[in-house]
Amino acid sequence: MCWRRLIVLVVVVLLVMTTGAVGTASGGPATERVRPFKITMEITGAAVGLPGTLGCDEGWVPGYMSGTGRATHMGRITVEGTVCQHPETGELTDGSGTYTAVNGVALFAEFGGQGYLNPDGTFTGEGYGILTGGTGRFVSATGEWTWTMSGSYLPDGSSLTSLRGRGWISF
């Protein structure tokens, strides 16, 4: 083998090894990359059943939420999800949500956390989310993030919540 060809081959191999420039048969990356993930949402929520119904344990109140927001790698999103809340402690558990981009691609998540009722009738909270997949380029997505929220109750008993989160995503 000619020295020039050997040097070119070595350079190509080194470039591929250091940049991950090898694709899969489908044209996607050979390995998934960990990337920053941020999400903001404005959510309307409401209790939707009696305690202990709709998949919630006895004493836990099922809730439904919907809204809009923005997420990195998605742009504008719509949000739909469910969660179980303990009426005395404010704990949130068994949450699941779908975050859908304008182009129809979606991320699926599970979440939980803790809500706190303030003396003025507003509330705050914090928690975690775990990405469990999605559609399109997010079909094998994984990730985690932490979030904070603040909100208030409306006269009809529903709530208006602002949520901000950040963490990581891999897809």
* Residue 89 pLDDT > 60: yes
Q: Residue 116's beta-bridge partner residues?
A: 124
Residue for token pair 């803790």? 114
Q: Indicate the fold that domain 35-170 takes in CATH.
A: Porin (2.40.160)
Output the pLDDT for position 25. Answer: 36
pTM: 0.79
Which segments of 48-105 are extended strands (E)?
Answer: 61-71, 75-85, 91-101
